Structure 1
Amino acid sequence: MNGVRPQLNCNICNTGDIHINGLEGPYTMVLIDGMPIVSSLGSVYGLSGIPNSLVERIEIVKGPASSLYGSEAVGGLINIITQKPQNASRISADLMSTTWGEYNADLGFSLNAGSKASVLTGINYFNFQNRIDRNKDDFTDVTLQHRISVFQKWNFERKESRLFSLAGRYMYEDRWGGDMRWDKRYRGGDEIYGESIYTNRAEILGNYQLPFNEKIFLSFSLINHDQDSRYGTTSYIANQKIAFGQLVWDKKWGRHDWLAGTALRYTYYDDNTPGTANAGGLNQPEKTWLPGVFLQDEITLAAKHKLLLGFRYDHNNIHGSIYTPRMAYKWSLNDNNIIRLNAGTGFRVVNLFTEDHAALTGARDVIVEGDLKPERSYNANLNFVRKMHFSSGAFIGLDVTAFYTWFTNRIVPDYETNVNQIIYGNLNGHAISKGISLNTDINFINGLKFIIGGTIMENTLTENGQTQQQMLTEKFTGTWAVSYKIRPLKLSLDYTGNVYSPMRLPLLGDLDPRSPESPWWSIQNIQFTYDGFKKVELYAGVKTC
């Protein structure tokens, strides 16, 4: 997906996240079946261990969506839609191994539990225990990992096809990297350096349509995340509990399609860092209540014109009232040409230590300047879609989007004022994320398909009248996927790749010999798939790391 980039923040312990249009992972909200995994930890770990066999599709929305989804949907959101149990295969298995010694298994099962219930179960298992040191620096080149995740979803049949579903997921992960001589005897000690992270995460999601003539839905989620991390002698022990409930009323009335609702989120967060210490240095877990209401109206102005107006009000017990309006306009010139204009706002309450790996692993002291205020953003984007059908059966689709986001109260780590410190504070100025992206789909009747995209963007910070590029953000990204189906041989070829421009990197002062910018770099993969068997598909390929 053009403009969406997974980032590995630590080559030793494999902490990662997903960037949308150059914004860091905590600005991305992760949802499963439309339910927000509403936590900063969820943005980092929410995608890990979801069995591929259960995923029907993944939807990505770029840009702020806080008016509908609340906090943390600032850069965009990723919605993982799981299969319905009644549509899934009875048994499915996807087994994969690599020459590096990675082993991955995805297992799926579906069954009917009586006449009115169906169950879908998925298991993901990943194991990599091969210590590799190609650059001969006596440190692991790739993080060793051991992960298991179990997901189960229940659908219940009700009168008048009303919705009722329950789902749960549990994930355990053990990963480490560091000195090649390290083992668990040295965990947390200073004799041999290693970074070791244990993660326990449990989620319960539910959606229930109330037994009324009106379409009223109650959805909820409960999440518990325990993390035990040791970076040498530095420890990060954290627990986060989140309870979320939302009541939504969907009503069509003439030219209006109303969506109204109320939501309540409670967050408990505790760790062993200064982030949860009071002025006296004593531990004080964060307890945050965030009730809110929202209203959205999609108005059909004419046959080819639609206008969407939305507004959300939340009240944070620490930061007070938060308003997030939204507007969207759609003009369908004809069946093949569509123009969309969107504008909205976003907000995010930050917990530093769930997000910034550098604050925990380096030798720098962490300094927090004053009481941090929530970040706010103001966004607008213009989108044009054109579809072209040819008499030969070929198809070309074009999608062009220009986007612009203005941030206030942006919280940015300062690595440069003092090379021995990381200083956190609200930006005394503003930040801007802007750019333009172009995507094209090209399909031929002979089985050849192209998906090509590119984004030119700029993410800048302006403080005290000076503007500079934000660290670890590229100015250009490109993606492509080429697929070809050789039907007589029942063989498919897929060639995918991406390319990224240089990024600004943090240095340890003027004497640091490293380059202040990364080079141009690209990841490219090729895969062959044979589906000549009745119920078995074989694939093989080469991936770059």
Structure 2
Amino acid sequence: MIRRQFFFAMLTLIAFCGLDATSTVEFKYPSDANIVGHVKDSKTGEHLIGITIAIKGTTFGTSTDVTGHYFLRNLRPGEITLVMRGMGYKSQERVVLVQKDKTIEVNFEAEEDAIKLDDVVISANRELTLRRLAPTLVNVLSDKVFAQVNASNLAQGLVFQPGVRVENNCQNCGFNQVRINGLDGRYAQILIDSRPIMSALAGVYGLEQIPANMIERVEVVRGGGSALYGSSAIAGVVNIITKEPTRNSFTFNESMSFTDFSKIDNNANFNASIVSDDNRAGAMVFGQARYRSPWDADGDSYSELGKINARSLGTHAYLRLTDYSKLTGEFHTLSEFRRGGDRIDLPPHVVGVAEQTDHSVYSGNLKYDLYSNNYKHHFQAYTSGQIVNRESYYGGIGEIDVNGHVGGSLGYPIPQEAYGNNYGVTKGRTYMAGLQYSYDLDHFLFMPSQLLFGAEYTRDELNDVMPLLAWQIAMDENGNPIHDANGQVIPLYPELDQNINNYSLFGQNEWKNDRWSFLLGARLDKHTEVKDMILSPRATLRYNPTRDINLRATYAKGFRAPQVFDEDLHVGVVGGEAQKVFNDPNLKPEISHAFSLSADLYHRFGNVQANLLVEGFYTRLNDVFTNEEQPDQHDGIKRYTRVNGSGAKVFGLNLEGKLAYKSFQLQAGLTLASNEYDEAQEWGLNTVKDASGAFVMEANDAGLLEYKNESMTDTKITRTPSVYGYFTLAYNPSHSWNIALTGTYTGRMYVPHAIEYGVHSAELDILQNNPAIVDETGTAPRIDELKKTPAFFDLGFKVGYDIHVFKATEIEVYVGMNNIFNSFQKDFDRGAGRDSGYMYGPTQPRTGYMGMTMRF
């Protein structure tokens, strides 16, 4: 019934929009009505390259060439509005009367906008809007920041936003996750060109797999975004806007980094764009190759940063079918081999610990935009998809003793019966399609408004199998195979198959003018893992008493739906044991209620441009997912059941300031946050001791004595500092020199640490010189700790010099260093028994780099 209603709604939307759309498609004939002109910097008088000149309300436009001039050909006669936009300059509009067989000249004097008052964003309401007029607060991260910190991928540049942290959560495989307003990665939704196609599987290593040279800008919306984008947009939304071609150009970059000045991290990339003379078609192609050597911080032969060998290739293209319609497509493919642990060059099944993944990812989206002649109607149809194929190995055989010698050394081969078998094959498929329609009303009730509604369908398929382990069958206590109701043998490691369908309807109305906006909207989702339909409303209020004062208040309800796998499908290694997470049959979705108040203030003091942002936020979480460790079945897999726990509350303050004075630009952000569960949650285990201090044992179902463990709990949301921030300082003393100083601060936080007594992998266990003891199942006692980490300040710099070969051709050479003071974790676990998840703080140690960029 729900499916029929959903598809009926989509067909109705197509029919309704199509009635008006037919009037915009008409035969095009040469009108010889042209507009020419140039764009100059208002201060220097220099002609500017790559400034966009668009016709307001249409998909048609162009950009200035290498001489700073533009040419719009064969326009439709009538009154139009030209819009000039350029990175670092204020937008301008000019009303022009276009006449048949006439060419007119329209020139622009571009005024500097160092603090980005007139940035254009789409994440606030699914329509292009000036940032200062957007109904919700949107922060924009430009490709300029990625260049300042020599970021080769999304993860390395994303931290330079208020309320945003990126951290490495594994010593072996090195997967990163983004945390917004103190909530971990599973609460943030990653979009590519506004489409949620980053599945749970792709999101594990996705932050590092997205190359920086495909990114035009990154838009970050903090707080609940489920009303617009669906599940998992509780902490916020990170929207990656890919580069679109604006002019003919080519860029090549080669950068070589040296981790701890000892291991190479090499990155080469290129971008090439071509645009047709009439601006009806254009394409951009990008590619990147990266190789990172593994790095061992403490000399125990186990990596803290794993090996990466990655390639990416993609394109973004458009075709303007008419002045009022545009077809846009983006496609990219990623290939990445990643390996961490010990003896990286050996096969993973014969080493102490190995986490190895080999990814092939294919992602793409297609969008069709159609406007009416009077610009009031906008219809959009879109589809996107992602295919992820992953081969993996998670596990380890530990340190094998062969006749008193180290197994695997010359003359002492590891016996084949000790080989590991934790190979995995995972396939992920994500598809989505949607329709969206908006209508600008001149007056509705009490002011002009924009009505927007649409429908979406998303399907997520995930299949995971461990092919060697899948041969094994489940046995009863007598050693006999266990059969199901149909008489079939039950595998000990069954194939896991997940298919999720989500049907969505969304709508909103935004009453707005330059001073006020009031938005009411909601989204209705039917998710196959949730019994009831989920309603996510939102309301926003914006008040601009002047152009330079933006005040906002927002409320949004969000949700996160359960899945069969944990959010990252990541199999951790703790003592060489794989981990799997299963849902409780009665699991409910997590629900959030997010509130925020913000003031975004701009002012000019003579030659100084200034911006101050103050944002208070409060998020209430209900039915928070938590994992309960299940009794050990002694089959090499640790099992957890995901259940609903208590609620949690996250609240705090985001502060951001910007200053621009002549050749200096300073930007800094600080977050103060408090995050706690309503009730204590499990963070680890400790083995029970009796009055004499001896570890307590009890008989399990098989009659074997095993250690009795108790849950360790706390109300703290772990891995969340109460204070963190960033800054960037750019100085351009001349047209050729580019100097940048950047830094991030991570305050103290609590991090869980799993420790096996007597294994001597953790610093605590080594210092106490605990004896190696195990129970009758071969398991050591647990003495987990909740560690309060030190604070970290990661300071970096970059110096670049541009060699201007010709007017439109330049070569930049640069050198720099990240984490100058080597503010990095010092107490890593050691050896095969280490807790690979015990990693915190900055994502890389002191790292020097140098490189060259060629542009024309």
Distance in 2 (CA, whole Å) between partners of 1:258 and 1:55 is: 30
String of CA shifts for 1:71-125, please: whole Å, max 9, x gaps.
12221111122222233x5211111002331110111112247974321110011
1:541 paired residue among 794, 807, 816 = 816
> Following TM superposition, by how much is the alpha carbon of 1:133 offset from its aligned partner in structure 2, in angstroms?
3.0
Distance in 2 (CA, whole Å) between partners of 1:422 and 1:456 is: 36
Asked if the contact 1:53/1:92 (under 8 Å) is kept, the reply is no
Asked if the contact 2:363/2:385 (under 8 Å) is kept, the reply is yes
1:389 paired residue among 604, 629, 633 = 604
* Partner SS state of residue 350, structure 1: coil
Superposed, 1:239-388 pairs within 5 Å as: 239-254=427-442, 255-272=448-465, 282-283=494-495, 285-300=497-512, 304-319=515-530, 320-351=532-563, 353=565, 355-356=567-568, 359-363=571-575, 366=580, 368=582, 370-371=584-585, 372-388=587-603
Match of 2:675 in 1: 459
Asked if the contact 2:562/2:583 (under 8 Å) is kept, the reply is no
Q: Which amino acid aligns with 1:183?
A: D
> Given the alignment of the two structures, is residue 519 of structure 1 paired with residue 790 of structure 2, yes or no?
yes
Superposed, 1:441-480 pairs within 5 Å as: 441-445=658-662, 447-463=663-679, 468-480=715-727
More strand by share: 1
> Given the alignment of the two structures, is residue 223 of structure 1 paired with residue 382 of structure 2, yes or no?
no
Q: Which amino acid aligns with 2:517?
A: K
Distance in 1 (CA, whole Å) between partners of 2:556 and 2:639 is: 32
Which 5+ residue runs of structure 1 have no aligned equivalent? none
String of CA shifts for 1:359-398, please: whole Å, max 9, x gaps.
532246656462232211110011111112112x102210
Superposed, 1:106-145 pairs within 5 Å as: 106-112=269-275, 116-129=280-293, 131-145=294-308
Larger Rg: 2
Asked if the contact 1:26/1:43 (under 8 Å) is kept, the reply is no
Q: 1:132 to 1:283 in 2, by over 3 A?
A: closer
1:147 paired residue among 310, 325, 345 = 310
String of CA shifts for 1:183-214, please: whole Å, max 9, x gaps.
24x22x24443221111110120101258663
Distance in 1 (CA, whole Å) between partners of 2:345 and 2:435 is: 49
Asked if the contact 1:18/1:44 (under 8 Å) is kept, the reply is no
TM-score w.r.t. the length of structure 2 is 0.59
Match of 1:404 in 2: 618
Distance in 2 (CA, whole Å) between partners of 1:132 and 1:39 is: 29
String of CA shifts for 1:289-329, please: whole Å, max 9, x gaps.
111111111113x7622101111111113313011000000
Residue range with higher mean Cα deviation, 407-416 or 231-240:
407-416
Residue range with higher mean Cα deviation, 239-248 or 29-38:
29-38
Q: 1:408 to 1:235 in 2, by over 3 A?
A: farther
* Partner SS state of residue 811, structure 2: coil
String of CA shifts for 1:41-88, please: whole Å, max 9, x gaps.
33334343444333221111111111111112221111122222233x
* Partner SS state of residue 220, structure 2: strand
Residue range with higher mean Cα deviation, 70-79 or 322-331:
70-79
> Following TM superposition, by how much is the alpha carbon of 1:332 offset from its aligned partner in structure 2, in angstroms?
0.8
TM-score w.r.t. the length of structure 1 is 0.90
> Following TM superposition, by how much is the alpha carbon of 1:235 offset from its aligned partner in structure 2, in angstroms?
3.9
String of CA shifts for 1:254-280, please: whole Å, max 9, x gaps.
21101110111111112138xx9x997
Which 5+ residue runs of structure 2 have no aligned equivalent? 1-160, 396-419, 443-447, 471-483, 682-712, 765-784, 820-844, 846-856
> Following TM superposition, by how much is the alpha carbon of 1:283 offset from its aligned partner in structure 2, in angstroms?
3.4
Match of 1:46 in 2: 206
Q: Which amino acid aligns with 1:443?
A: A
Report sequence identity in percent: 22
Asked if the contact 1:482/1:496 (under 8 Å) is kept, the reply is yes
Residue range with higher mean Cα deviation, 285-294 or 368-377:
368-377
Distance in 1 (CA, whole Å) between partners of 2:616 and 2:564 is: 30
* Partner SS state of residue 720, structure 2: coil
* Partner SS state of residue 213, structure 2: helix
Match of 1:78 in 2: 238
> Given the alignment of the two structures, is residue 183 of structure 1 paired with residue 345 of structure 2, yes or no?
yes
Match of 2:171 in 1: 11
1:501 paired residue among 728, 747, 759 = 747
Q: Which amino acid aligns with 2:431?
A: A
Match of 2:252 in 1: 93
Distance in 1 (CA, whole Å) between partners of 2:276 and 2:661 is: 44
Distance in 1 (CA, whole Å) between partners of 2:465 and 2:574 is: 17
Distance in 1 (CA, whole Å) between partners of 2:332 and 2:218 is: 18
Q: Which amino acid aligns with 1:194?
A: A
Distance in 2 (CA, whole Å) between partners of 1:317 and 1:500 is: 39
Match of 1:439 in 2: 656
Match of 1:57 in 2: 217
Q: Which amino acid aligns with 1:257?
A: Q
Asked if the contact 2:255/2:267 (under 8 Å) is kept, the reply is yes
Which structure has the higher relative contact order (CA within 8 Å, separation 6+)?
2
Q: 1:467 to 1:332 in 2, by over 3 A?
A: farther
Distance in 2 (CA, whole Å) between partners of 1:51 and 1:264 is: 28
Superposed, 1:153-164 pairs within 5 Å as: 153-164=316-327
Q: Which amino acid aligns with 2:600?
A: V
Aligned residues: 533
Q: 1:182 to 1:54 in 2, by over 3 A?
A: closer
> Following TM superposition, by how much is the alpha carbon of 1:414 offset from its aligned partner in structure 2, in angstroms?
5.1
* Partner SS state of residue 172, structure 1: strand
Q: 1:140 to 1:406 in 2, by over 3 A?
A: same
Asked if the contact 2:563/2:583 (under 8 Å) is kept, the reply is no
> Following TM superposition, by how much is the alpha carbon of 1:142 offset from its aligned partner in structure 2, in angstroms?
2.1
